[in-house]
């Protein structure tokens, strides 16, 4: 969901909305309308990050909309279609101990209770009951594992210094 640790992707622009240059956006924040609280915002256009000024934002039912300065018509808005929206790490609120942002967990090595390397976190999926770590196996273990992201039950420790997550999860045959 992100390209590097300095830009954190928080959403994606969909298509144009209306005749005044508004854009539909898909938010990756929780709750989704939190995307409106971040300013300034960065946008990736043609592989380059640039800061944009969001003049206005609004929620219409389930739809989230933004108006970027200088974008006055649907033709101007199309330039930004399918572009990622990001913020910088320093814009994120500090979390209390034991809480983590998803982007901090992506790429961490996962070790089970026997210190066997199960692989790396490739992504985190949101389910109705709880979030799930998607682990891509490494070395001889090429299996993909799905481990519930339930602290103190399956996930015993997250160590951002050693880039590891310790889990209570058996190695499957």
Q: What is the pLDDT of residues 31-53, one digit of tens each?
A: 999 999 998 899 999 999 999 99
Q: Is residue 3 scored above 50 in pLDDT?
A: no
User: What pLDDT was estimated at residue 111?
Assistant: 95
User: What pLDDT was estimated at residue 138?
Assistant: 77
Residue-wise pLDDT for 65-121, tens only, equals: 999 999 999 999 999 999 999 999 899 889 998 889 998 999 999 999 999 999 999
Percent with pLDDT over 70 in the chain: 94
CATH 2.40.30.60 fits 7-91, yes or no: yes
User: What pLDDT was estimated at residue 5?
Assistant: 56
Q: List every span in the chain annotated with CATH 2.30.30.240.
A: 102-167
Q: Is residue 2 scored above 90 in pLDDT?
A: no
Residues β-bridged to residue 146 = 134
Q: Are 133 and 119 in contact (CB under 8 A)?
A: no
Q: List every span in the chain annotated with CATH 2.40.30.60.
A: 7-91
Residue-wise pLDDT for 131-154, tens only, equals: 999 999 876 667 899 999 999 999
Residues β-bridged to residue 85 = 11, 43
Looking at the domain covering 102-167, what would its CATH class be?
A: mainly beta
């Amino acid at each position: 969901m992100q390209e590097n640790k300095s830009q954190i992707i928080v959403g994606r622009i969909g298509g144009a909305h209306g005749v005044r240059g508004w854009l539909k956006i898909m938010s990756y924040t929780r709750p989704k309308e939190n995307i409106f609280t971040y300013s300034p915002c960065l946008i990736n256009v043609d592989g380059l990050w640039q800061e944009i000024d969001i003049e206005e934002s609004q929620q219409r039912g389930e739809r989230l909309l933004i108006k970027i300065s200088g974008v006055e018509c649907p033709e101007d808005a199309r330039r930004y279609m399918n572009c990622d929206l990001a913020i910088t790490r320093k814009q994120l609120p500090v979390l209390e101990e034991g809480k983590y942002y998803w982007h901090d967990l992506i790429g961490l090595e996962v070790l089970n209770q026997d210190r066997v390397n199960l692989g790396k976190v490739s992504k985190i999926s949101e389910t109705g009951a709880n979030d799930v770590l998607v682990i891509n196996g490494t070395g001889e273990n090429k299996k993909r594992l799905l481990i519930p992201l339930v602290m103190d039950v399956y996930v015993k420790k997250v160590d951002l210094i050693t880039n590891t997550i310790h889990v209570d999860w058996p190695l499957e045959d």
